[in-house]
Amino acid sequence: MKVVKQLAIFLANKPGTLAQVCRHLAGARINILAMTVADTVDHAVVRLVVSDPTKAIHLLGDAGVLVVESDVLAVTLRNRPGALAKVAQRLASAKVNIEYAYAAVAPTQGESMVIIRPSGLKKAMKVLRA
């Protein structure tokens, strides 16, 4: 488990906007490690964990994309039923809310990565390290 920088970007909800962002990142050799997209009627919120967040912030900002940076937890779990349930229960028992989460799983490996935005980052880290 570690704290990582997450980038939240706000895009017009129309064809090609995500592709353009991905091209910008790829052109700068920035790898997307995890991603989720939530859409509304007129815009989408894309949350990303990338290999070089500082470089990505400057690159996307220069391209006119609104970027908000925040700290989230990247929790590596065994890729098996119940692994996330144990983490969620430990946080719940400590009264730490999971505001949102998304996961990335490599099908050929035995681990997965879950990105968690807890209500209390330091408390969540303490609980999960215990």
Report which of residues 53 and 14 the model is more confident about.
53
Per CATH, the homologous superfamily of domain 2-70 is VC0802-like (3.30.2130.10)
CB 79 within 8 A of CB 108: no
Three-state SS for the chain is CEEEEEEEEEEECCCCHHHHHHHHHHHCCCCEEEEEEEECCCEEEEEEEECCHHHHHHHHHHCCCEEEEEEEEEEEEECCCCHHHHHHHHHHHCCCCEEEEEEEECCCCCEEEEEEEECCHHHHHHHHHC
Nearest Cα neighbor of 28 from 61, 52, 1 is: 52
Mean pLDDT is lowest, of 33-47, 50-64, 101-115, for: 101-115
Domain 72-129: top CATH class: alpha beta
**Location of each CATH 3.30.2130.10 domain in the chain:** 2-70, 72-129
Residue of 13, 64, 66 whose CA lies nearest to 43: 13
Express each pLDDT in 63-111 by its tens digit.
999 999 999 999 999 888 999 999 999 999 999 999 999 987 765 676 7
pLDDT tens per residue, range 13-25: 888 999 999 999 9
* pLDDT, position 107: 59
Mean pLDDT of 38-62: 94
Is the pLDDT at 116 greater than 70, yes or no?
Answer: yes
